[in-house]
Structure 1
Amino acid sequence: MGKIYNISILLSFVGLWLTSMLSGDLEILLGFILIFSFGILHGSNDILLIDSISNKKKPNKYPFIKVLITYLIIVFSAVIIFYLIPLFAVVLFVLFSAFHFGEQHWEHKRLEVSNELINCFYFIYGLLVLQLLFILNTTEVIDIVKSITGYTLTDQLILYSSISNLIVFVLLSIFMYYKSLKFRSVILLELFHLLIFSIIFKVSTLIWGFTIYFIFWHSIPSLYEQITYIYKDFNNVNIFSYLKKAFPYWIISLIGIAIVYYIFKEEKLFYAIFFSFLAAITFPHALVMNKMFTNKKTQSIK
């Protein structure tokens, strides 16, 4: 995984270089292209992951049709919630995403602390990353939240909530520094990563900054974790096999967002539709990935 994050650092600086070369509109266009490709793709194979998890426990424990129907119900329920109770849905999306981002980034480090403490740290860390993005792109965040919910965030709310979470992060990190040798060995590197995120978010548009983090620091490492979990090895053959199986679900996802946009395009801005659909597929994906990581821990103990 270390090599993957080295690639992430390199690609991040490439992204920064592109920031100086491209206009804001081109940044946004390229951002959407990457999100619709790698971003959507990394969450497209949840059905295959569920099947792999169930086979490791008990063959045919979760029949395919039942899994597919349940998955679609969750996705469409999220879309409906965004339409009916958008403010609640946005808050839920941020909370789910925070834990999911934190878990993906830290799970493989195997910190020697209790499950309760590590889950709390996953959430606080992921929320900190999102708040760095928010506080360094406040105007765009306020506009998007208003377009989705009709509610106007204030600069003070974003600032004070970010400071509060930063204090919790620092205190929790100090505690974990004394509790975990592994944490002690990686914390300086992780603080450097946070510095990289801050620079990226500061000089980029909201969409481009989110894209660099979401694709290079989340989606690509997630694809590596998924392929390794399903096929036991990360190589060209297994990558191709994964992509072949994910392709139909990826196409369905793209068709889904096109349909949702077509239905609601007169009532919502494109950004609102985009983030709403992204949230809808994030909810079940975060649950599936958590199940995968839990299963990996169980298997490593045996």
Structure 2
Amino acid sequence: MLKTLTDSFTVPKHFLAFFGISLFSIIFSLFTPIWVQNLVAIFGILSFGILHGANDLKIIAKKTRQKEGTTGFKFFVLYIGVVLLGIVLFFFIPKIALLSFVLVSCYHFGEQHWSGRTPVRLNPFVFYFSYGAIIFFSIFTFQYEQSAQIIYQITGVALAFSFFWIGLVVSFLAFLLYLIFSKRNLVHYLLELLLLVVLVFLFTNASLLFGFGLYFVLWHSIPSLNSQLKYIYKASTRNSLIQYLKAAAAYWILALAGMLLFYYFVSVPENQYLSIFFSFLAAITFPHAVVMGLMFHSKDSNEE
């Protein structure tokens, strides 16, 4: 059996717990005001969300077989430079920046969720991308008004509802065709489809930020943390988690401080808070997605 870094919660030992949390989140969203949902989402994104991308330099060091002290500063400067470049792109060419973020994130979300669990005989690129596209187009479709407003604030482009709906249908068909042609793990795939249905209910009833936040933290960041612990420390244990937190602390604090200083010194209209927030997440996603891709393609990823 293929051993992989990815530890999806659709396996029996995790499925019921995560499925239950997802259902509870739907109920929570039905009975709590939007500001409470947004507060919970922001806490999750700023903690687990940013944390799961805060140890990329350690992954690079292992991938390149370098001691952290020898090239650590060079990688750090390069990494921060890419983040700053992402921020600059959002200021000067926001259309290209946002499109790039969505395209990269579609593949990144799919890769994290499915890496090592797809038939070798089929090229996984379209599968990874279509799965991530389902997530994004589901958010854009079922939270159309606020999503369209944020996209317009960032890019100045007004997109019709039909654009997102058609994108969702096409992405789902591509995903479904891959499942059909793979002809394996059908029960596992049915569980995945069930979880996607739960996500749709969440995106429909929760606030945009809470729906995205739950997916980003529960479905993506926590499994990603587990994958990274296995790659860096060869085990997902309490001690490895403590080591991870210590190593990630500096970049995590730097990212939080940078965002807080921006909001403090730059006058941002209240109705554009979310636009800036998502632009910030996008800027730090670019280098992280590349690093995770390198990690999943490393021969070390299947050594366990």
Normalized against structure 2, the TM-score is what? 0.89
Say which SS state the counterpart of residue 64 (structure 2) adopts.
helix
Give the Cα separation in 2 of the matches to 1:203 and 1:62.
50
The residue that corresponds to 2:254 in the other structure is 252
CA RMSD of aligned residues (A): 2.1
Selected match of 1:270 from 246, 249, 273: 273
Q: Gaps spanning 5+ residues in structure 1: where?
A: none
Tell me, in whole angstroms, the C-alpha distance in 1 between the residues paired with 2:155 and 2:16. Answer: 38
Provide Cα deviations, 1:71-99, integer angstroms capped at 9, x if missing partner: 01110000000011111111111111100
Partner of 2:293: 290
1:83 aligns with 2:68: no
Higher relative contact order (CA 8 A, sep 6+): 2
* Deviation of the 1:281 alpha carbon: 0.7
The 5 A counterparts of 1:183-262 are 184-262=186-264
Check conservation: 1:201, 1:209, Cα contact below 8 A.
yes
Q: Residues of 2 paired with 1:239 and 1:205: CA distance? A: 31
Q: Structure 1 residues 158 and 205, CA, compared in 2 at 3 Å: closer, same or farther?
A: same
CA distance in 2, matches of 1:141, 1:240: 37
Distance change (3 Å), C-alpha of 1:77 and 1:250: same
TM-score by length of 1: 0.90
Q: Comparing both structures, which one devotes a greater share of its residues to helix?
A: 1
1:54/1:61 contact within 8 Å kept: no
Cα pair distance change 1:62/1:274, threshold 3 Å: farther
Matches within 5 A, 1:1-302: 1=7, 2=11, 3-55=13-65, 63-114=71-122, 117-177=123-183, 181-182=184-185, 184-262=186-264, 264-266=266-268, 269-296=272-299, 300=303
CA contact (8 A) 1:51 1:62 kept: no
- Give identity over the alignment, percent: 34
1:206-226 CA-to-partner distances (Å, cap 9, x unmatched) read: 111111111100000001110
Contact 2:54–2:251 (CA under 8 A) maintained in structure 1: yes
Q: 1:6 to 1:218 in 2, by over 3 A?
A: farther
Q: 1:32 to 1:141 in 2, by over 3 A?
A: same
Q: Give 1:259 deviation, angstroms.
A: 2.9
Letter of the 1:96 partner, please give it. Answer: V
* Cα deviation code 1:134-173 (max 9, x no counterpart): 1111111011111111211111211222222223223333
* Number of corresponding residues: 293
* Partner Cα separation in structure 2 for residue 31 and residue 172 of structure 1: 32
Gaps of 5+ in 2: 1-6
Residue 228 of structure 2 aligns with an amino acid whose one-letter code is Q
Q: CA deviation at 1:298?
A: 6.7
How far residue 11 of structure 1 moved from its aligned partner, in angstroms, is 2.2
Q: Within 1, Cα distance between the matches of 2:251 and 2:114?
A: 27
